[in-house]
Amino acid sequence: MMYPLVLEMAVDGVPVTVTCRVLGFSKQAFYQWKRNPVSQRDWDDAHLTNTAWDAHQDDPAFGYRFIADELHQAGLTAGENRVWRLCSQQRLWSVFAKKRGLTRKAGPPVHDDLVERDFTATRPNQLWLTDITEHRTAWIPAIVATL
């Protein structure tokens, strides 16, 4: 947030109007923030996050959906998307969460490079190349050789 920077610059003698213009926001927004530096939404988010943290510490298997239910039972109202955002910011994930993404590392090359990356042939049937690609399917891996 840039508003505290405006306060620091004002102490050094830089006018608020100039600082706000350079940083790209209106001085009205700065003075509104100065009047109320912690908004009601930030205050509510802090209370929700605190309650979500307590619920997660009681049972680390809870994901954001169960935490949202716990918040509702505690008398706090918050939608699932808001609870997801707060839990993501605080890294409150279930211990049983699925890990996403490709975690495998590429294996060694299948064969040595016998042509040393020189793919030119001076006559027919002198150089044969193929590409072996593995395509995952629901049942078995399918191996496809292309020429």
Within-domain flag for 70: yes
Within-domain flag for 141: no
Q: How far apart are CA 2 and CA 74, in angstroms?
A: 35
Domain containing 71 equals 40-90
pLDDT of residue 96: 76
Within-domain flag for 78: yes
- Please check whether residues 74 and 45 belong to one and the same domain: yes
pTM over 0.75: no
3-state secondary structure (DSSP) of residue 146: strand
pLDDT tens by residue, the chain, 147 residues: 688 889 888 899 999 999 999 999 899 999 998 998 888 888 999 989 998 888 888 888 888 888 888 888 888 888 889 999 998 898 888 877 666 776 777 777 667 777 787 878 888 887 777 666 665 666 655 555 554
**Domain count across the chain:** 2
- Please check whether residues 45 and 85 belong to one and the same domain: yes
Within-domain flag for 99: no
- Please check whether residues 13 and 49 belong to one and the same domain: no
Within-domain flag for 125: no
